Amino acid sequence: MSASLSLIALSGLPGAGKSTVAAALAHDAAAVVVSVDPIEDAMHRAGLMPTHETGLAAYLVAEVVARESLTLGHTVVVDAANYVEQARQMWRDLAQECAAELRWVEVVCSDETLHRQRLAARDRGFDASLEPSWECVRARRADTAPWSAADQDLLVRIDTARPLDAQLEQLTRFTPK
């Protein structure tokens, strides 16, 4: 695999700080960010109801955009929850197909009070998608698939309760250049 072509897929609960980490990482690596949530919001604005199928379709659109960016030689940072095995396998397959080095960044917020505050204050400017409740976040946590043994070597956990510069230092040591 070419070390210059990388697919960095984020994973984590809503409000944990994935988008902030993705933006900082993309800036540092001059990468393209492909974010699932704005795609899903656009689908809702187009009149599609929020369903499992709409969520899956948003991931598939993100996959197409990521593939095009990788094909053009860009490093890609995927900003998505990626909490189910089906989503994770999609990124594994794409990395293999495009001969890109895959890295996983699990974004967590170890301070529950801070996590709840972030979620309550969050306004991403989406027109048609509602922000999830804390109860939804707790349910998502319970439904999150464990990481496979193979993924463990490709995974770094970033705690967004820590200062952003400490997070970026940890990412710099982990992600390919």
Q: Walk along the chain (177 residues) and give the pLDDT tens digit of each residue.
A: 445 799 999 999 999 999 999 999 898 888 999 999 999 999 999 999 988 899 999 999 999 999 999 999 999 999 999 999 999 999 999 999 999 999 999 999 999 999 999 988 888 777 766 778 899 999 999 999 999 998 988 999 999 999 988 988 888 877 665
pLDDT of residue 172: 82
Residues 6+ apart with CB under 8 A from 80: 9, 10, 11, 18, 35, 36, 37, 59, 62, 87
**Contact partners, residue 91, CB within 8 Å, separation at least 6:** 7, 9, 63, 78, 82, 102
Instruction: State the pLDDT at residue 128.
Output: 63
| φ and ψ at residue 108, rounded to 5 degrees | -125, 160
- DSSP conformational letter for 23: H
Q: Are 36 and 81 in contact (CB under 8 A)?
A: yes
Closest to 60 (Cα-Cα) out of 38, 32, 85, 39: 39
Question: Domain segments of the chain: what residues?
Answer: 2-166
Q: Are 67 and 98 a contacting pair, CB within 8 Å?
A: yes
Right CATH number for 2-166 from 3.40.50.300, 3.10.580.10, 3.30.390.30, 1.10.3720.10? 3.40.50.300
Residue among 106, 151, 153 nearest 9 (CA) = 106
